[in-house]
Every structure is written in C-alpha cells, then in structure tokens.
Structure 1
C-alpha cells in the first residue's frame, strides 16, 4: 500500500467504528489483539500464537461477505464500514502490498460507485490496479473482479465503450477460471447487458439477459434437485441401510442476494418491455420460484411459480410445464416453510 492508500484507509476507518459489522467483531469471544499472558508455559504460548491470525482471517471473511451482501442488496453506504474492516485486517494479516487486499479495495470502490463518489472509487481502483500490476502471478479470479469494478465505474461515468471493454475481460477471465456457464461469469454478462440496455441496443441486451437467466436457471435447478435427493434419502434412511448422504451445497448469503437482485431486475425488464416474450418471462419466473423455494420464502416461491405456470399454458410449446408443476408440488408439500 502506497502513501495514498494509507491516507485513504486512515481517513475512512473512523466510519467503521459504529457500524453493525464493528459490533459483530467486538462480540467475538477472544479479542483479536489479545496477547498471551507471560505466566502461561512456553509451549502453550507457542501453540496459541497462531490463534490471533486465525481470528483475524475469520473477521476478514465475515466482513467481506457482509459487505458483498450489502452491495447486492443495494445498501452501498452500509457496505463501506464492513469493507473498511476487511481492508484493515487484510493489511494486518497479509501486509500492505499483498494481492489479498484487492477484494476489499474492490468492495470499497463498488460501494462508492453506488453512492455516486466516483473520484473516491477511482482512487480505490487505482490501489487495486497497482497491486495487481506488481503481482505477475495474480490469479484470473482476482483480475476478473478488478475488470468488473472498472467496468462498473466506467458505466457509471457514461463511458460505455470502455465499460464494455472491461466487462468483456471480466467475462473472459471468469469463464476461464470458473466455466463459461458459471454464475461467476454471469455477473459480467448481466452488467454488460445493462450497458447495452442504456445504449438502447435492445437485441444484444435481450440476448445477454437470456444468457444470465439460463445460467441461474440451470444452477438453481441443480440445487433444487440436490435438495430433493437429500430429503428423499433422509426419509428412506433406516438403521439397516448404508449411510450415503448426498452432499448439500448451500448458496452463500451473498449469492442469494445476487440472485435476487439480478433475476428481479431481469424480470422487471421483461415485464415492462414493449414487445412481450412470455416464454422468456416465464423462464425468469421459474428461476425466481426455485430461488425463493431454496431460501424458504414459500409465499414468493408459489407466487412466481404460479405466474410462470400460467404464462406457459398460453404457449403452443409447453415443455417446461411439467418442471414448474413439479416445483409447485414441492412447495406445497413443505409445511415448515413459514416466510
């Protein structure tokens, strides 16, 4: 971290002091900075020496995920204190020039973009770029996030061509790391679609929104099938059967927030379009129904699923009716969902 980076961190660290994330940090059972008493035997002190670092890494994960969720919820101001904590503890654990600081800088930049502080966002992104340029072996996973943040800033400033350039790099790097149809790659597609939408290039935007929907639809379909297998295996389990538990891959809170924000945004665009496309709208509704089913919001899951079912009944080709009908049965068979 150069002088500018240190000034940025020192100037804004005070904002984090009274935030909710600070409360979570302060409630940890053992203080992060606590030193071991000298009366403890040498081997006990040696064995416990790594504990502060473990606690700091836990706080980094906690504050990072909290800030990320706030961003996807559209609560940019609330994301800043959590992101500042993530930057502070990342600096203490990894050093002031480590690539481990880049995710926190990107969170801060995106939070600033969300509240219109573009100059401040640019400074955070400059710090992130400086670190990445100094790290020849920087992973594609980090670089794709950097290009996304740069694309978001350019889009916010109205520099659409440069925004598309960065978002194209974002999609390429995310696809090479996580796969072409990964939800990580879909984020860049969503933001690129938004840029084309703002340019009134509706055909390209429509194609990208459909791609984003398909990626989330496939991901959520697999998640629903996995959960169904888990419930079935537990119901059929007996003392005499071999224990073959299906592994459950739950979405993180940040992924849930991203899915809700992205899919509802696409649904709004579909429903307000001058030329209605019932098939594409039904697909977004089906994805949302699966999402709300997975996060146990039964009323919204049923609402979205019913809308999708009614739309598809009006179309000549009704291949998806069976899948949505099955989902509605799953929703109705879960009385413990109370949201």
Structure 2
C-alpha cells in the first residue's frame, strides 16, 4: 500500500488525466488525412506526458526526495521507449535520473543497471554530444562516491568537467557542478588545498 501511495504522490496524481487519451482506445479514422492528424495528436499527448513525468521526477530529486522521483521517472521511461524506441538518445537523461534517484535511495545495484543502459546507448551513438557524455560521467562519478570508490569518482568527474568545458565553456554553470563534486571528494579525503582550490571555481 505504501508504494501505491508513493506512486500516487509522485506521478499518477499529475498525469491521470493525460493517461486516458493516450492509453484508452483510439478513434477509428476514415481518411488518411484524419489518421495522420490522429497520430500527430497522439504523439503530442505522449510527448506532453513524458515532459510532465520527467519534470516531476526532476523536481522530486531537487527536493531531495529520490524515492518519490522513481515512479515519475519510470513513467517517463515507459512512454519515451514507446515513442522514441528502446535505444534512443532521448532515454539517456531518464536513465541518468533513475540512476541518481536509485543511488539516493541506496539501491546501488539498480542504479548500476540504469547507468549501464545510459552508457550503452551513448557508446552506440558516435555523434553523441559532449553535454550528454558529461552528464553520464557526472552520474558515474556520483555513483562511485556512493560506492566509496573515490579515485574512480574523481576520474569520472574530471571527464565531466572536461566534456562540459568543451561544450559550454570554462566558466559555465554546467562545469561548476563537476568542480563542486570533486572538491567535496578532496574535502572528504582531507586534501584541503585541492578542495579549496576547486571550491573557488564553483
């Protein structure tokens, strides 16, 4: 019962009205033009549902409620897989969000699976943006921190900073997140000079 309550609080209360036209029976169209318009309308509804689910999940993560983020992110994954296909780049941010939420709830094995899915899709996409690769490395870095593997975390976060710098420039907000997480690791290792140096970059 508690997981149903979490699901309702997380996402179903937000998307219930959007689900009916997407999952319910589709109207029968008599002309090719009507069929095309019907497909376009269904696609817009599905994309709207994905956007609501994804923003809801992200909101819960920002509010430090990873357990509530998971059902919303799973809905986004479910509909994104339907719309874009199971190997689509559009699934990578959702897998990364699920990995972060799973890590936040202590479900490291599940987080590792989501990170593997994201990594696999990126490896299959030669023209993947540096921005998305940066997000993957940040996710891998934070996962490594949760596992207690700080050297591996620093490796991934350094890649995050490098790729974010290549995409957004040295003084961008996207880069400062990587510096911040690296500084936290150095702080935990009691390497205060390195930590303070990186904190000034944030």
Gaps of 5+ in 2: none
Pick closer, same or farther for the CA change 1:36–1:76 going to 2, 3 Å.
closer
Q: Which residue of 2 aligns with 1:47?
A: 37
Query: Match for 1:78 among 64, 68, 80?
Result: 68
Residue 50 of structure 1 aligns to a residue whose secondary structure is: helix
Gaps of 5+ in 1: 1-13, 213-339
Query: Match for 1:209 among 191, 199, 202?
Result: 199
Residue 135 of structure 1 aligns to a residue whose secondary structure is: coil
Q: CA RMSD in A?
A: 2.2
CA shift for structure 1 position 44:
2.9
Q: Which moved more, 1:42-51 or 1:173-182?
A: 42-51
Residue 101 of structure 1 aligns to a residue whose secondary structure is: helix
Relative to the length of structure 2, the TM-score reads 0.89
Q: Which residue of 2 aligns with 1:132?
A: 122
Q: Which residue of 2 aligns with 1:291?
A: none
Whether 1:167 aligns to 2:160 is: no
Contact in 2 for aligned 1:19/1:81 (Cα 8 Å): no
Whether 1:178 aligns to 2:160 is: no
Contact in 2 for aligned 1:36/1:45 (Cα 8 Å): no
CA distance in 1, matches of 2:77, 2:27: 29
Whether 1:193 aligns to 2:183 is: yes
Whether 1:152 aligns to 2:142 is: yes
CA shift for structure 1 position 144:
0.7
CA distance in 2, matches of 1:126, 1:15: 29
Whether 1:118 aligns to 2:104 is: no
Residue 49 of structure 1 aligns to a residue whose secondary structure is: helix
Pick closer, same or farther for the CA change 1:186–1:15 going to 2, 3 Å.
farther
Pick closer, same or farther for the CA change 1:156–1:36 going to 2, 3 Å.
closer
Residue 170 of structure 2 aligns to a residue whose secondary structure is: coil
CA distance in 2, matches of 1:38, 1:126: 41
Q: Greater relative contact order: 1 or 2 (C-alpha under 8 angstroms, separation 6 or more)?
A: 2
CA shift for structure 1 position 115:
1.5
CA shift for structure 1 position 123:
1.2
Query: Match for 1:62 among 42, 52, 63?
Result: 52
Larger Rg: 1
CA shift for structure 1 position 29:
8.5
CA distance in 2, matches of 1:70, 1:185: 23
Q: Which moved more, 1:66-75 or 1:31-40?
A: 31-40
- Post-superposition Cα deviations, 1:2-39, rounded to whole Å, max 9, x if no partner, equal xxxxxxxxxxxx89753431221112396123454236
What is the number of residues matched between the two proteins?
200
CA shift for structure 1 position 54:
1.3
The residue correspondences of 1:264-303 to structure 2 (distance < 5 A) are none
